[in-house]
């Protein structure tokens, strides 16, 4: 969709003409600022469906200045509520950078900044130029094509091959009720569940992601569609079926690791837990191979049965400890080209800006307009 911020109103050229005031002087008012296109995080919004059929997001423009030093009315911002986890990308032909993310309720992400209003001729009066006959035009608002994606906000992501027991595990440690069946790709959409260990313990959210297969990072199966949700997770749980499999357990572990690494190398640097499932019908050779593979990687290893709940409590306790030690990943809002232009001329060093922090706006100066010779 296209986001268009409002243009700033132009300054006014006017002079004070009143009875008994023979030399009133310049009285042109400033133009109003243009409205911005703003995304606001909302906990009551769950999807981006309300934006699906919208092709244009246009904020109100600022009004022009008027005589008697009257400032034009500023345009209203176009405020759109989006669910937490919304990522906004610039989708122009030569620009595909990430503009920012909305991860906190009521956080404001400025997708397109409104232009500043121009100054009226009263602003340019000086002792040597007492009757300026020019004013400053309003600044144009930002315009860009944008693309929005919604990524789940979960603390723990559960990954593995189809039929590894991900949905069953989620249903055993949370109150979630995902679809469970004995055929691959039972889970077609991510499922979320909340793990509450006790009154004094901090709960955390677990995401059951659809099964991954070889080539998922290139679009095979459902993996590429949902792998982006893994980026949000601070801790990853890798499930491997100990009862049966087309390949050895350590080979199945390698398959998923390669897909995660191909999609995003940083995923393998995050805290991970290797979990062997279905120990009530496990194969001893697969169990031994998976345990050795986890030891070689220096990762915690657990074996559980989601049906009998055997081994789930130690695993959940370990996940809670890892989350306490793992801070949330910083989410940086990349500055727009206009902000980068203004920051390059200043004396202060550039700092990364979060999506909740407003970016600086360049003010128009006398150098931006041509002054007539008087």
**Lowest mean pLDDT across 17-26, 76-85, 127-136:** 17-26
Residues 166 and 28 in one domain: no
Q: Tell the residue number behind the tokens 């260990």, with chain if given.
A: 197
- Same domain for 108 and 172, yes or no, is no
pLDDT band (50, 70, 90) for residue 224 = low
In this structure, are 223 and 301 located in the same domain? yes
At 226, the pLDDT band (50, 70, 90 cuts) reads: low
Domain span including residue 78:
1-150+330-369
> Are 351 and 245 part of one and the same domain?
no
Average pLDDT over residues 142-164: 83
Are residues 173 and 194 both part of a single domain?
yes
Residue 76 has pLDDT above 60, yes or no: yes
Element (H, E) at 172: helix 166-173
Residue 125: how many other CB atoms lie within 10 Å: 16
| 344 is a domain residue | yes
More confident: 348 or 55 = 55
Q: What is the pLDDT of residue 133?
A: 92
When comparing pLDDT for 62 and 152, which is higher? 62
Residue 374 falls inside a structural domain: no
Is residue 202 domain-shared with residue 254, that is, in the same domain? yes
pLDDT at 39: 95
Provide the CATH number for the domain around residue 313: 3.40.50.300
Pick from 152, 161, 162: nearest CA to 229: 152
**Model confidence pLDDT, tens digit, residues 325-339:** 887 654 443 333 333
Q: What is the predicted pLDDT for the residue at 8?
A: 95
**pTM of the shown model:** 0.59
- Element housing 295 (H / E): helix 284-297
112 to 78, 88, 115, 151, 341: CA distances (angstroms): 10, 11, 10, 22, 15
* Beta strand residue intervals within the chain, DSSP E: 2-4, 37-42, 56-58, 78-83, 86-90, 98-102, 108-112, 143-150, 156-160, 191-195, 204-208, 235-241, 272-277, 301-303
Chain segment 279-306, per-residue pLDDT in tens: 888 888 888 999 999 999 899 999 998 8
pLDDT at 71: 94
Answer yes or no: is pLDDT of 145 > 80: yes
Q: Examine the domain organization and report whether 174 and 290 are in the same domain.
A: yes
Domain assignment present for 280: yes
Lateral strand order in the sheet of 143-150: 56-58, 2-4, 143-150, 86-90, 98-102
Residues 1 and 146: their CA atoms lie apart, in Å, by 6
- Give the domain CATH number at 81: 2.70.210.12
How far is it, in rounded angstroms, from Cα 117 to Cα 63? 8
245-266 residue pLDDT tens: 778 888 888 888 887 888 778 8
Coarse DSSP helix, strand, coil percentages of the chain, rounded to the nearest 5 percent: 25, 20, 55
Say how far apart CA 136 and CA 117 lie, in whole Å. 8
CA 197 from chain centre, in angstroms, equals: 29
Half-sphere exposure of 100 (CA within 13 A, CB side): 26
Give the strand order in the sheet containing 235-241. 191-195, 204-208, 156-160, 235-241, 272-277, 301-303
Task: Give yes or no for residue 14 having a pLDDT over 90.
Answer: yes
Task: Answer yes or no: do 345 and 292 share one domain.
Answer: no
Whether residues 144 and 13 fall in one domain: yes
Are 172 and 226 part of one and the same domain? Answer: yes
| Same domain, yes or no: 160 and 135 | no
Report the C-alpha gap between 87 and 20 in whole angstroms.
Answer: 61
How many C-beta atoms surround the C-beta of residue 131 within 10 A? 12
Considering the domain boundaries, does residue 117 fall inside one?
yes
- Shared-domain flag, residues 241 and 134: no
Residue 28: pLDDT over 60 = yes
66: in domain? yes
Of residues 296 and 358, more confidently modeled: 296
Task: List strands edge to edge, sheet with 108-112.
Answer: 78-83, 37-42, 108-112
% of the chain beyond a pLDDT of 70: 75
Least confident of 45-49, 89-93, 222-226, 351-355: 351-355
Query: From CA 118, how far away is CA 121, in angstroms rounded?
Result: 10
Judged by DSSP in three states, 121 sits in helix
For residue 71, is it within any domain? yes
Mean pLDDT lowest for which of 48-57, 174-183, 341-350?
341-350
- Place 50 in a pLDDT band, splitting at 50, 70 and 90: confident
Q: How many domains does the chain have?
A: 2
Strand-pair partners of 194: 205
For residue 45, being part of any structural domain is answered with yes
The token pair at 208 is: 């059951």
88-101 residue pLDDT tens: 988 877 767 888 88
Q: Please report how the helices 284-297 and 249-263 are oriented relative to each other, as an axis angle in degrees rounded to 10.
A: 40
């Amino acid at each position: 969709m296209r986001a268009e911020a409002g243009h700033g109103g132009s300054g006014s050229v006017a002079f004070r003409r009143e009875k008994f005031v023979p030399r009133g002087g310049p009285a042109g008012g400033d133009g109003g600022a243009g409205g911005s296109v703003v995304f606001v995080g909302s906990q009551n919004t769950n999807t981006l469906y309300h934006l699906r059929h919208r092709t244009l997001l246009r904020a109100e423009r600022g009004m022009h200045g008027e005589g008697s030093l009257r400032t034009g009315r500023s345009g209203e911002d176009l405020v759109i509520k989006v669910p937490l986890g919304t990522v906004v990308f610039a989708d122009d032909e030569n620009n595909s950078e990430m503009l920012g993310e909305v991860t906190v309720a009521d956080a404001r992400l400025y997708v397109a900044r409104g232009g500043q209003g121009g100054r009226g001729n009263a602003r340019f009066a000086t002792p040597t130029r007492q009757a300026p006959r020019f004013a400053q035009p309003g600044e144009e608002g930002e315009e860009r094509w944008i693309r929005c994606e919604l990524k789940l906000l979960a603390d723990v992501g559960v990954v593995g091959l189809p039929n590894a027991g991900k949905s069953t595990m989620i249903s055993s440690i949370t109150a979630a009720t995902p679809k469970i069946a004995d055929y691959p790709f039972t889970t077609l959409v991510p499922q979320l569940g909340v793990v509450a260990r006790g009154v004094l313990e901090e709960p955390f959210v677990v995401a059951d992601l659809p099964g991954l297969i070889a080539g998922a990072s290139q679009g095979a199966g459902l993996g590429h569609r949902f792998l982006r949700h893994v980026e949000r997770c601070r801790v990853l749980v890798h499930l491997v079926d100990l009862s049966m499999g087309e390949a050895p357990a350590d080979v199945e572990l390698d398959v998923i690791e390669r897909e995660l690494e191909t999609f995003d190398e940083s995923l393998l640097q995050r805290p991970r837990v290797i979990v062997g499932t279905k120990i009530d019908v496990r194969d001893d050779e697969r169990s031994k191979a998976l345990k050795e593979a986890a030891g070689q990687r220096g990762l915690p290893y657990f074996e559980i049965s989601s049906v009998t709940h055997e081994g789930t409590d130690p695993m959940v306790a370990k996940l809670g400890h890892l989350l306490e030690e793992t801070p949330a990943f910083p989410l940086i809002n990349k500055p727009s080209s206009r902000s980068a232009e203004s920051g390059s001329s200043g004396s202060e060093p550039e700092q990364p800006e979060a999506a909740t922090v407003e970016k600086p706006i360049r003010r128009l100066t006398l150098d931006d307009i041509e002054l007539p010779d008087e």
